[in-house]
Amino acid sequence: MKWTGARYTDKPTVEVRTWIDAPPERVWALVSDIGLMPRTSPELQSVEWLDGATGPAVGARFLGRNKHQALGEWATTSHVIEYEPGRVLAWAVQDPAEPMAVWRLRLHEGDGGTELSEWMQLGPGRSGLSPAIDRMPEKEQQIIFVRLREIEQNITATLNHIKRLAETR
């Protein structure tokens, strides 16, 4: 990840892509199973569908519990905001109108396999970074950079895990 000097109000993003030597149907089965995600992420501890939902659909909600050495433990409610079976799954964290983060997984079929990308945007709503930025506004850009680098590493680990599972089935 390169230094961008981004501030929180810029809604900074990170995206990681990987090629998976497996058909999109197999990859999608893994991506759309949110119960699998805690096993692929160093921060995400557990997830559960809310309101009787049993899978992704626009408007469905799920509770995620997270843990981070510096940020502590927290739980958030995410709202599915985009869902195209076999292609796209995206969710807004906390308030969909002013999310603390937006996440998107996208699949592209081609050449006998699947390109999988995971994209994440910080903000515009307040997040766990906001208190640190409030305390040290002169370090805002460094705080954002370090957090985005961590997220990039976590996404890479998640995609590598999905790749291993999809390619060994």
Question: Which residue stretches of the chain have pLDDT < 70?
Answer: 1
Domain extents in the chain:
8-167
Other Cβ atoms within 10 Å of 38 Cβ, number: 16
User: What do you get for the CA distance between the two ends of the chain, in Å?
Assistant: 32
Pinpoint the alpha helices (H) of 2-139.
24-31, 37-40, 130-135
Assigned fold of 8-167: Alpha-D-Glucose-1,6-Bisphosphate; Chain A, domain 4 (3.30.530)
Rounded distance between C-alpha atoms, residue 145 and residue 142, angstroms = 5
Please tell me the predicted confidence (pLDDT) of residue 122. 96
